[in-house]
């Protein structure tokens, strides 16, 4: 068996060692000729996957070590009988950590309490449901919106969109769907912005094009949005400098980049490949994870609850560092900016999930909040 794999999938060489002949390359350096004589492909979202790459090849199994699949022509793959696997849900905990860090950081620096604040979660799947649980644990009122889940389950907890227009925060956790009844392309647009609560906070960790960049900028300028937390950008890696300048927190599409998420994604696609080819080998995440650098955290007793929790979180994940790193792009010449954005993602430092902390010493009166911020490992 011959396997083509993206070199930026963590530990991929070690994980597939002994499974056959391997070709390890950066996804952007791959050409259609690389696919001609392979049996399996382990890729990432940086590489398109469809007829151009696979016509005339012998590929039987393809995958992406990412959550989103809009870069893969799944209709074509199905028509050709080519198996496809993704890493859906691999980074859900990591993104929930990011949302938690962002909300605490904003509340601390802006000087308000989260208790009784409301947040509308648009997209209540793997990520949205976990983010919702964290927010509820912080004392926030959560409104969930997910039309596909509403149709599938009929559950009343999935509310119509108009019920969240008055929320203090609106957080997107949807895939990018370009057309149809569940279209999410430019879901946040000028019309949507005109209906939300004045002074709301936008959080986008889903896909850049879910929010119309110009609509977000205008909403910030008008005060319809008080702040925005932007991790995903239209046109990546060419991102909007005006939006970057106006965002309260701006990061280079790294919300899901905790090392656990990356290794989980690798495990999911490698094991899916082994299962497809009936290979007995299975990958275990624990064999690749480094020991946590921080095992114990003590929550301070002075200051607001939000600031105390924010400082505790920064021991594991300091979102301000990611924000500062991205803002360096503003001092660069325009041709240099896309490569710099990509480099921040490719060379992202090891970040651990908040659940890796084994012991959290917390004042009794805020123990429930501490448990929400530092949940047990899944």
Query: Which positions are catalytic?
Result: 207, 236, 253
Residue 148 and residue 106 in contact, taking contact as beta carbons nearer than 8 Å: no
- Residue 60: burial class (beta carbons within 10 Å; 0-12, 13-18, 19+): middle
**Backbone angle region of 3, left / alpha / beta, with phi > 0 → left and psi within -120 to 50 → alpha:** beta
Q: How far apart are CA 204 and CA 248, in angstroms?
A: 12
Residue 270 and residue 42 in contact, taking contact as beta carbons nearer than 8 Å: yes
Q: How far apart are CA 270 and CA 86, in angstroms?
A: 10
Structure tokens belonging to residue 231: 């991790």
* Best CA proximity match to 351, nearest among 283, 289, 268: 289
DSSP character at residue 361? E
Q: The tokens 């963590």 sit on which residue?
A: 10
Q: How far apart are CA 5 and CA 43, in angstroms?
A: 6
Structure tokens belonging to residue 326: 């991205």
- 2 phi, psi to nearest 5 deg: -115, 130
Q: How far apart are CA 260 and CA 70, in angstroms?
A: 23
Residue 226 and residue 199 in contact, taking contact as beta carbons nearer than 8 Å: yes
Q: How far apart are CA 84 and CA 104, in angstroms?
A: 38
Q: Which residues, other chains included, contact 224 with Cβ-Cβ below 8 Å and sequence gap of 6+?
A: 193, 194, 196, 198, 199, 200, 218
Partnered with residue 188 across adjacent β-strands are 211
Q: How far apart are CA 32 and CA 263, in angstroms?
A: 27
Q: How far apart are CA 127 and CA 172, in angstroms?
A: 10
Other C-beta atoms lying within 10 Å of the C-beta of residue 133: 14
């Amino acid at each position: 068996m011959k396997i083509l794999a993206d070199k930026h999938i963590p530990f991929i060489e070690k994980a597939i060692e002994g499974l056959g002949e391997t070709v390890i390359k950066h996804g952007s350096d791959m050409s259609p000729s690389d696919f001609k004589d392979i049996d399996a492909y382990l890729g990432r979202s940086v590489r398109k996957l469809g007829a151009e790459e696979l016509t005339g090849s012998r590929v039987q199994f393809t995958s992406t070590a990412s959550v989103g699949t809009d870069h893969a022509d799944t209709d074509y793959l199905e028509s050709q009988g080519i198996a496809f696997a993704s890493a859906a849900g691999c980074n859900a905990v990591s993104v929930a950590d990011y949302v938690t860090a962002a909300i605490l950081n904003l509340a601390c620096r802006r000087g308000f309490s989260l208790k009784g604040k409301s947040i509308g979660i648009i997209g209540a799947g793997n990520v949205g449901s976990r983010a919702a649980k964290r927010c509820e644990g912080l004392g926030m009122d959560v409104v969930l919106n997910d039309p596909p889940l509403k149709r599938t389950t009929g559950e009343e907890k999935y509310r119509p969109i108009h019920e969240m227009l008055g929320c203090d925060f609106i957080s997107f956790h949807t895939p990018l769907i370009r057309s149809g009844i569940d279209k999410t392309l430019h879901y946040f647009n000028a019309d949507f912005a005109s209906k939300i609560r004045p002074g709301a906070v936008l959080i986008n960790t889903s896909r850049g094009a879910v929010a119309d960049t110009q609509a977000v900028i205008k909403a910030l300028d008008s005060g319809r949005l008080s702040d925005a937390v932007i991790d995903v950008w239209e046109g990546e890696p060419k991102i909007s400098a005006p939006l970057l300048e106006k965002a309260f927190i701006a990061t280079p599409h790294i919300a899901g980049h905790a090392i656990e998420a990356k290794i989980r994604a690798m495990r999911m696609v490698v094991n899916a490949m082994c299962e497809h080819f009936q290979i007995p080998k299975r990958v275990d995440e624990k064999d690749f994870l480094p020991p946590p650098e921080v095992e114990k955290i003590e929550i301070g007793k002075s200051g607001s609850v939000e600031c105390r929790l924010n400082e505790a979180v920064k021991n594991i994940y300091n979102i301000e560092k990611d924000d500062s790193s991205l803002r360096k792009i503003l001092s660069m010449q325009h041709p240099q900016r896309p490569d710099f954005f990509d480099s921040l993602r490719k060379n992202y430092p090891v970040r651990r999930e908040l659940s890796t902390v084994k012991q959290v010493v917390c004042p009794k009166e805020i123990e429930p909040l501490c448990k929400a911020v530092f949940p047990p490992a899944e």
